[in-house]
Amino acid sequence: MRWLIAPQKFLFRPETRLFWMVGLLGAFTMFSAFICESRRLMQDGEFALAGMNLMGGMLPGVVALWVGHVVASIL
C-alpha cells in the first residue's frame, strides 16, 4: 500500500509534460481530423470546399510562422 501514497517521480517537469501531452499530441490529432475532413469533402466531390478547407487551415499557419520569424529577428 505504500506505493499509493509515495510521491510521484517523473522524468520531465510538469510544464514539459504539458507541452508534450497537450501541445504536440493535440496537434497530431487536430491535423488528422483536418486532413480526414478534407478527404471526405473530396470524396463527396466538394473539391472547392476541400480546397478552401485546406487553404483556410494552412494559410493562417504559414502567415503566423512568417510573422513570428519577423518578430523574432527584430528582437
pLDDT tens for the chain, 75 residues long, are 555 555 666 677 878 878 887 777 777 787 888 889 999 999 999 999 999 999 988 888 889 999 999 999 998
Q: So what's the pLDDT on residue 42?
A: 95
Nearest to 46 by CA among 34, 37, 55, 57: 37
Q: So what's the pLDDT on residue 7?
A: 60
Q: So what's the pLDDT on residue 16?
A: 82
Q: Which amino acid is at 37?
A: E
54 neighbors 46 (Cβ within 8 angstroms): no
Distance CA 25, CA 39 (A): 21
2 neighbors 18 (Cβ within 8 angstroms): no
Phi first, then psi, for residue 22 (nearest 5°) are -90, -50
Distance CA 65, CA 46 (A): 29
Q: So what's the pLDDT on residue 39?
A: 93
